[in-house]
Amino acid sequence: MLHQFLSNQTGYQQTLATAMQSAIQNFPADLATVPAAIQNLLSGDPAAALQTIINQQMGYAQTINTALHSAAQDFGIGVAGLHDTFQAALQDLATGNVNGAVGDISTGLRNLFLTGFEPTVDLDTGIITITPTGTLGDLIPTLAIPGQMAQNFTNLLPAGSIPAQIS
């Protein structure tokens, strides 16, 4: 284990030495590009970038608003259906069907959040997409927002930069 540790340290030192040598050799060329890089930064249009960010935030707000509105409607429909569910469960209990009563109640409570699934088939690729319906299905579009935000941030990075290459 100590041998592996020392081997790793040697590799790190070689990588660092190579990077330092490259930086020293390329320093005059890198220094010559500094004025052009500063000019590029100053020539950008901050109003356009700000407008893009505002438009994206408004899109996120619209997605969240639509999802919450639809989820509230579906939840209300589920709550309205609980009366019939409890009535059916009570009738099952009156006839001695305990399993049926428990099934009715669990179905009614499940329908508050998940009413079913909607399969969609893409005939070109043969891919079947299964989307939940109900309250949870309405909230699914909000799960895409963090990924969209990360992609939008990545799009702001300069092309060819190390952070852009990593992402």
Report pLDDT digits (tens) over 80-131.
999 999 999 999 999 999 999 999 999 999 999 999 999 999 999 999 999 9
Nearest to 136 by CA among 119, 120, 118, 115: 115
Residue 8: what pLDDT?
A: 84
Per the listing, tokens 């990075």 go with 157
Residue 84: what pLDDT?
A: 94
Report pLDDT digits (tens) over 39-49.
776 676 778 87
Q: Alpha-carbon distance 11 to 16, whole Å?
A: 9
Quick one: pLDDT band at residue 59, thresholds 50, 70, 90? Answer: very high
- pTM equals 0.64
Mean pLDDT, rounded, of the chain: 88
> DSSP characters for 13-25?
HHHHHHHHHHHHH
Q: Which residue has the higher pLDDT, 104 or 163?
A: 104
Q: Alpha-carbon distance 81 to 87, whole Å?
A: 10
